[in-house]
Amino acid sequence: MGDQTFDPTARYPKPPFKKQTQPWPGLAGKMEPRPDHGETSYKGSGRLAGRKALITGGDSGMGRAAAIAFAREGADVAINYFPTEEPDAQEVIALVKEAGRVGLAIPGDLKDEAFCKTLVEQAVQGLGGLDIIVSNAARQQSRDSILDVSSEDFDATMKTNIYAPFWIIKAALPHLKAGACIIGTASEQAYDPSPELYDYAQTKAATMNYVKSLAKQLGPKGIRVNAVAPGPIWTPLQVSGGASMEKLEQFGGQTPLGRPGQPGELASIYVQLAAADASYATGQVYGAAGGSGSLDRGTPFRCMARNSTVLKGKEPTQLGIRQQNPYCDMPNFDHRSFCRIVPFQLQPLRLRSRCDFPGSVIR
């Protein structure tokens, strides 16, 4: 094998991007530049052999990347998408079949409860069962003010992002056996919301919480539940109303990597969460945000949510504390956004030995 390393800052396009807009929900095939979903780069190794997956929003974005990767890892795949996304969906189905797997295209509107139930039934019948659910489809529309968000807008976002996963998981659960898994797509918006994404951001916070709640509920049944929390990823969401033109032109430029992520860069995370060798991972939220949202090293904060002290990069003895003081080493999690910040003072603190945030490690 040759050298597989590369510079992540230079691998994919950087801003500024061309001004462009599409009617909602947009098509990946019409974006400039086209997103990379791993069409030519993802190589499978049989990690999901014989598995059967249903992926919502499987025509583009992370759903498409997951569908391609799952098929190349040996899984049969059913994808759901909005009917106007048919051109993108057919490209995905062709790639799934090219990998030698069953590919089902099931278009429909996830805002309709009856359709969500039918979607699961068709996937079960067409694939001969289900053991992976990826609830990925989402609606995102940028609005400068809450005054610009109509009740119809708000309802459509809630139905797509919150009601649909509820309906789909509820319908799928009788078909899921021990060893099955559910994967939600959350977002960095769950803990660092943008002002113009008022409705979308709160649905992603809800996604993070339903994942953790369901993981506790379904763990005893042997069903794992996790989520992926992307940062700025180059998908049709951005060009179909999800970002202002000004933000679109500089999209992803604020990250330490200086660019947006590509859907294909997250494919391996979905595979890992679905694979049997991740059998101890449940209730976790895996971030991939190009470095954005990371905690500054060496800056002490107190995590008010769990009343523990966050001492990133500092040893307790350096701060004059005699009692062992835990600190929180949380990848891709910004305590400054989630917790109320208070300056650290050298006074007795009520210490906790654990911090219940996703992916946290207390040392």
Q: What DSSP letter does each residue of 7-54 carry, written as one string?
A: -TTTSS--SPPPP---STT--GGGSSSPP--STTT----STTTT-EEE
200 included as an active-site residue: yes
Give 52's Cβ-side CA count (13 Å radius): 17
What is the C-alpha separation between 159 and 252, in angstroms, rounded?
28
Give me the amino acid identity at 343.
P
The token pair at 357 is 């945030």
Calculate helix-pair angle for 198-218, 151-158, nearest 10 degrees. 30
Tokens of 288: 């991939």
Residue of 12, 81, 200, 286 marked active site: 200
Return d(Cα 186, Cα 134) in angstroms, integer: 11
With beta carbons less than 8 A apart as the criterion, state whether 301 and 335 touch.
yes
Active site members: 200
